[in-house]
Amino acid sequence: MKINFFKIIIFSFITFFLLVFWLGLKKDNSYNTTNLIGNKISSFQLASIHNSDLISDELLKQNEFTLINIFASWCAPCRLEHKYLIKLANQNRNVKILGINFKDKKNNALNFLNKLGNPYNFVAEDLDGKASILFGTYGVPESILVDKELTIIKKIIGPIGQRQFEEILKLTQ
Amino acid sequence: MLSNLGSILVFLILGLSLLIIYNAFLDIKNNNQTIKKNIYNLSLFQITFTIMSFFTLLAGFIFSDFSIINVYENSHTTKPLFYKVAGSWGNHEGSLLLWINILVLFSYLFLIFNHKHNKKFRLYTLIFQNFLILGFVIFLILNSNPFSSIFPVPLEGMGLNPILQDPALAIHPPLLYIGFVGCSIYFSAAIASILSEYNGKQFALAIKSWVYISWTFQTLGIIVGSIWAYYELGWGGFWFWDPVENASLLPWFAITALMHSVMVLEKRNTLYEWVIILCLLTFILSVTGTFLVRSGILNSVHTFANDPSRGLYILLFLSLMIFTSVIIFFKERKKESYDFNLNSKETFILTNNWFMIFFLATVLIGTLYPIFLDVLTNAKISVGPPFYNIVIIPLVIPLLFLMTLGPQFGWINSKKERLYKTLYVLVGAITINLFIFYFFENYGFYVNLILITATFLVLHSVLDAKKSFKSKKKFEFSRIISHLGFGLLVFFIGVNHQHSVEIDFNLKTGQKKKLDNYEIYFENVSIEQNKNYKSVIGRFEIIELKNKNIQYLSPEIRIYTNPETLTYEAAIKTRINSDLYLTMSNVSRSDFYNIKFQNKPLMIWVWISAFIIALGGLIQFIQKKNEN
C-alpha cells in the first residue's frame, strides 16, 4: 500500500491539537501561586519603614526560617491574623518575621503596629505595591515561609488562622 | 410549568432531528427528482418547536419565573425589561439554545430556498446539518439544560452581571451567533457536495448567498462587540487582541477568504477543493472558538462559569466533526487541474486568500501558543498587542495596495492603459498624506505608508464607484463599498492610533488640571438612585484652549446591588473630528478621584467605516437574492 505522507501529517497535526486541548482542559489554570513551593524567592531590596536601612534577601539568609508576611493597615483580615503573628513571634525562636507593608500610608502602618503590637523582626515598605509582585502576591494578607536557602516551603493566601499557625510551628521545629 | 414545557420541546427537537435524518436517507435512494413532502413537514415542525422553546425561555425571563435555575441565576425582578430579554442569551445555557435555534433556522431556510439545486445534495446537507443539531441538542440536554428547575422556588434572582447590561452587548451575541452558526450550513453543504458530487459552479451558486449573509453578521457582531468594549470597559481602546476577540476573528478571516474564492469558483469553475476546505475550516474554527471560550481554557470577560465537563463535550464533538469531515474529504475528493492565467483577476482574488490565511495563522498562533506552552511546559505567558502589531501591520501595506490593484484587472486578461489612471491616484494619495503629515506634525514610518496605501484604496474605490454607477455594472458595487470601507477603516485607525492623547491624573472636586491643549475643571459630585443601581456622577468642564470651546462631561461610578458590583461608566463626547473620553474611579480612603482623560481623533469614523464594510456584504446578499 502506498503511504500518503500528506494525509499522515494532517491527521497527526489534528490529533496533536486536539490532544493539547484535552490536556489543557484537565489543567487547573486559575492563577495559583501555591505551586511556587520549592522555588526560591527572587532577590529583593526594600527600604525599612522605621529608618533608612535596606532590607534585602541577604538578611534572610542569616535566619533559620523567615515568614514573609504581606500586610496593610487598611486590610481587615490582617487585623484578624495579627494575634497569630504575635503568638508566633513569642513562641518560636526559629522563625523571624519580615513584614511587608503593602500599598499603605507610612503613618497608618506605624499606628497599626503601635496599637496592635509589633510581631515583626523587620518591617519593609512597599508603598506602591510593586515589590510584592516579585513574591507572586495577588492580595493581602499573604504569607510566605522560606528556609535558610530562601526556598519557599509554604505559601498562605489569606489570613493565618489556628490551623495555618500550627502548620507553621510544625514546619519550623 | 415553563420548565416542563421547555424540556418537552427540546426532546421533540431531538426526536424530529432523528426522524429527518432517517427519512432523508430513505429519500436519497428514490430516483425521483423532488424531495418528499414529509421531510418538508418534519422540518417545519422542527423549526416551530425550536422557536417555541426559545420563546418559552424568554417568557421565563420576562415573567421572572425563578423555578427555572437559569432565570434564577441570571435575572432579577428589578431589572429593566430589555435586559431581562437580553439575559436569556447572556449565559451559557441560554446562548446554547440560541445557537440551536440558528442551526435549525438555517437548516430549514436552506431546504426551502434551494429547489433549483440537486436533490441528493440538498438531502445530504439536511442530514449533516441535523447531525450538528443532534450533537448540540444532546449537549444541551446532558449538560447545559436552560430549563432545569429548582425547588423550593427562590423569591428573587441573583441578577445579571452589570457589565453585560449594555445595549450593544445585548445584541452582540445574536449577531455573532447568526454569523458563526450560519457557517454550519455550508459546512454541511460542503460535505454534501463531496458525497453527492454536486460540485464546481453549481455548488458555488448554492452556498453563495449563505456565505454573504453570515459574513455580514459576523462583521456586524465583531463591530458591535468592539463598540461595547470602547464604551463599557473604560480603557478607551476598541481592540485588545484578547484571546476571545481573536477567537471571533479566526473564522472571520476564513470566511473572508471563502467569500473571495467562491466568486472565482462561480465565474471560472476552478478552486473547488480550496473552497471546500474553507467551508469546512470556517465552521471548525467557529466551534474551536466556542470551545476555547466556554471550556474556561481562556480567561476573559466572555468566560461563563467554568465547568470542565462542558469543555470535554465540545471537544469531543469538535474532534468528531473534524475527523468526519477530513476523512470524507480525503476519501471522496477528485483530482482537479488548475489552469491559471497569472495576469488575471483570479490571481488577485487568490492574493486576498494568501493574506487572509497569513493573518489567520498569525492570530491562531498568538492565541494558541500560550495554551500549548502552558500545557507542555507549565510556563505562563501572554501574547499581546506588540506581537500582532509587529507581524500584522507591515503586511497591511501590501494588502491595501493589492486590494486597490486587484479589482482593476479583468476576469481573464487585462489592458495596460488603466495603469496610468491608477498611477495618478497613487500620486494623489501621497499628496494627501503629506498634508496630514504637515497638519499633525507627527511622523511614523509604518503609519505614513499605511495612510498612503489606505488613501490610495479609498480614492480608487470612489472613482470605481462613479464608473460602476455610470455603466450600471451593479455586481461590482458591493465589492467597491466593502473595499472602500476597509480603506477608510485602516485610514481612520491609523490617524487615531498616531494622534490620540491619553493622560492619567488625580483630582479633587473643585480642582483644576491644566494640560497642553486642555483645561479640566472638576466641578462637583452628585449621587443618584436608579432602578437597580446607585450612581456617583462627576461633573467636569473641559475647555479646549485653542478655540475656547467648552464641553461638559459626566462620568459615573455605578454601584449595582444584584449582584454587588462596581462599574465605571466612561463619559464620551462624540464629535465629528474627535471623541473626548473621560473615566473616573475613586481612590480608596481619600477625596481624590483618579481621572483618565483621552482625546481620540476621528473615532466616530472608525465605526462608520466598519459599518460600511458590513454594508457591502449586505448589498451583495440582496443583489444575489434579486438575481435568483
**What integer is the mean pLDDT of B234-259?**
88
For B163-181, the pLDDT digits (tens) are 777 787 788 889 999 999 9
**What pLDDT is stored for residue B417 in this prediction?**
61
**What pLDDT is stored for residue A39 in this prediction?**
77
For B169-213, the pLDDT digits (tens) are 788 889 999 999 999 999 999 999 999 988 888 999 999 999 999
pTM for the model stands at 0.80
B397-428 burial, b at 16+ Cβ within 10 Å, e below that, comes to bebbbbbbbbbbbeeeebeeeeeeeeeebbee
Least confident of A130-144, B56-70, B316-330, B390-404: A130-144
Q: What length does chain B have?
A: 628
Bridging pattern class, strands A54-56 and A45-47: antiparallel
**What pLDDT is stored for residue B546 in this prediction?**
82
Q: Which chain A residues are closer than 8 Å to B365 by Cβ?
A: none
Q: Which chain A residues are closer than 8 Å to B367 by Cβ?
A: none
- Is B323 within 8 Å of chain A by CB? yes
**What pLDDT is stored for residue B620 in this prediction?**
86
**What integer is the mean pLDDT of B453-461?**
88
pLDDT band at B305 (very low <50, low <70, confident <90, very high): low
Radius of gyration from C-alpha coordinates of chain A: 22
Residue B607: pLDDT over 90: yes
Residue B143: pLDDT over 70: yes
Inter-chain contact B297–A20, Cβ cutoff 8 Å? no
Least confident of B40-49, B187-196, B297-306, B534-543: B297-306
Longest dimension (CA), chain A: 85
Report which of residues B156 and B25 the model is more confident about.
B25
Inter-chain contact B291–A21, Cβ cutoff 8 Å? yes
Inter-chain contact B315–A22, Cβ cutoff 8 Å? yes
Per-10-residue mean pLDDT for chain A, 173 residues long? 77 91 74 66 81 82 88 84 88 85 84 88 81 73 86 84 86 81
**What pLDDT is stored for residue B412 in this prediction?**
46
How close is the nearest chain B Cα to the Cα of A161, in Å?
27
DSSP A72-87: -TT-HHHHHHHHHHHH
Burial of A133 (0-12, 13-18, 19+ CB in 10 A): exposed
A49/B590 Cα distance (integer angstroms): 22
- Is B291 within 8 Å of chain A by CB? yes
**What pLDDT is stored for residue B49 in this prediction?**
96
Residue B92: pLDDT over 90: no
Give kind and range of the element (H or E) at residue B521: strand B518-529
For A118-157, the pLDDT digits (tens) are 889 888 888 777 777 777 776 788 888 888 888 888 888 8
Q: Which of A14, A17, A29 sits opposite B374 (nearest CB)?
A: A29
- Is B328 within 8 Å of chain A by CB? no
B366/B373 Cα distance (integer angstroms): 11
Q: Which chain A residues are closer than 8 Å to B303 by Cβ?
A: none
Q: Which of A7, A11, A25 sits opposite B295 (nearest CB)?
A: A25
**What integer is the mean pLDDT of B374-382?**
81
Inter-chain contact B297–A21, Cβ cutoff 8 Å? yes
**What pLDDT is stored for residue B233 in this prediction?**
74
**What integer is the mean pLDDT of B331-357?**
77
Residue B493: pLDDT over 80: yes
Inter-chain contact B375–A24, Cβ cutoff 8 Å? yes
Q: Which of A18, A25, A26 sits opposite B319 (nearest CB)?
A: A18
Alpha-carbon distances, residue B93 vs B15, B69, B100, B128, B225 (angstroms): 20, 10, 11, 23, 20
Which residues 6+ apart lie within 8 Å of B567 measured at CB? B162, B163, B232, B557, B558, B560
State which residue of chain A sits closest to B311, comparing Cα positions. A25
**What integer is the mean pLDDT of B240-248?**
86
**What pLDDT is stored for residue B220 in this prediction?**
95
ipTM confidence: 0.78
Instruction: Kindly list the domain boundaries of chain A, sorted by start residue.
Output: 31-171
Residues forming a β-bridge with A97:
A67
If you classify domain A31-171 with CATH, what class do you get? Answer: alpha beta
**What pLDDT is stored for residue B440 in this prediction?**
67
